[in-house]
Amino acid sequence: MSGSLSSLYGGRGVAIVSGRGGRVYDRAGKEYIDFFNGHGASLFGHANPVLRGALDEAADGVWICGAGFESPVREELADILGGLVGGGRAFICNSGTEAMEAALKLAVTVKPDRHRILACRRAFHGRTCGALALTFNPKYKTPFKRLLSNVEHFNPDELPGLIDSDTIAVFIEPVQGEGGVYPLPPETGRAISEACRKNGALLVADEIQTGLGRCGAMLASGLVGLDPDIVCVAKGLAGGLPIGATVWRESLGDFPGHSHGSTYGGNEFTARVALSALKLTLKEDFPRYAETLGGELRSKLASLGGSAIKEIRGLGLLNGAEMDTPSTDVVRALQAKGLLALSAGPRVVRFLPSFASTSDDVSQAVEILGEVLESIKNGGVVK
């Protein structure tokens, strides 16, 4: 890895060169159970045959023609995405952070006379300047403070009492991912939704990590009491190709002409794969599978009794185990033993299995974690 990339991302010290289903392989041919999946973007695992078919078809067609042209593929994709909020509109872009930028611009367009934007402590919404303002962790924000607009951050349960007639919008993740894997309690979600409705404030759900089936429903919002006006999705939308989307209720109206746009957003190539991915999710009922497999993972993790795990949290296939050991040490040791996971803050190890992960993967992964925790307990070297 080049110097600049490794200082931005932290080197994992291994090159992953191929993958099939829920497993990946490094240059030396070593196999890993993949519960990392490109930060959750390989929602279907690796080399899914249906998505490979869509890729072939996409390669054979026009790759991009420009968003001003009619595109049956993009329109069908936008219709399915709009269906997520009960018949809405969609702006298609290239990443999660861009989906958040579009949501912010739409929100201030729809509520021009209001001033306040609310978000949550521990929130992560991306790294471009609008999304970064919504993100909480000062580690990401401090060097860029002078570029960021004012966003007020609170604990989720404080929000209902703070939403008022000057509030443009509340931005919230149904399950905080990067912040430590904290599912929103449904009673809090319902109270936030109600306070937004009562005060005419918009509710924006960041479903970039939680959405599209990962948490056991096409949108996790409904599982945690949120009734959003605007929803952002990305990550698994095209199974790992760069794409994001901002989806909103038709009743909000639209962006004023030429007030937003993207050269690559909604290009035919990526849109065809995304369309195929969404249809596959619905056909195979992957959300139900995610709910079942995630439950299995959490109950097996819980059975690692007497271990260093303090708490297990999660919904569907977005799970975290809070440790009394630095999570980076655990993640490194898991990788050495053939399990890819990631940190979610200093003490939480995050597991993001894909729809291709199996019960066997879950059993083996928990066994590996058990061995790692045992060796840490015995003062063994964490490799």
Ligand X SMILES: Cc1ncc(COP(=O)(O)O)c(C=O)c1O
Task: Pinpoint the alpha helices (H) of the chain.
Answer: 3-9, 37-40, 49-60, 72-83, 96-110, 129-134, 138-141, 186-199, 268-284, 286-302, 327-336, 359-377
Nearest approach, Cβ of residue 180 and ligand X (Å)? 12
User: Which CB, 95 or 188, lies closer to ligand X?
Assistant: 95
**Which lies closer to ligand X via its Cβ, residue 208 or residue 290?**
208
Q: Is the CB of 118 or the CB of 208 nearer to ligand X? A: 208
Residue type, 270: T
Nearer CB in complex with ligand X: 42/97? 97
Using CB atoms, what's the residue nearest to ligand X? Answer: 96
- CA gap 303, 227 in Å, rounded: 35
CB of 122 to ligand X, least distance (A): 11
To the nearest whole angstrom, how small is the minimum distance from the Cβ of residue 28 to ligand X? Answer: 29
CB of 141 to ligand X, least distance (A): 14
Amino acid present at 212: L
Q: In the bound complex, what is the minimum distance in angstroms from residue 208's beta carbon to ligand X? A: 4
Are 346 and 310 a contacting pair, CB within 8 Å? no
Nearer to ligand X, 234 or 376 (CB): 234
What are the strands, taking DSSP E only, across 197-279? 202-206, 230-233, 244-249
Tokens in use for 148? Answer: 């960021």
Which residues partner with 153 through β-bridges?
Answer: 119
Q: C-beta of 34: minimal distance to ligand X in Å?
A: 17
- Tell me whether strands 230-233 and 244-249 are parallel, antiparallel or unpaired: antiparallel
In terms of phi and psi (left: phi > 0; alpha: psi -120 to 50; beta: otherwise), the region of 146 is: alpha
Residue 160 or 177 with smaller CB distance to ligand X: 177
CA distance 45 to 136: 30
- Interface with ligand X (CB under 6 A): 39, 95-97, 100, 124-126, 173, 177-178, 206, 208-209, 234
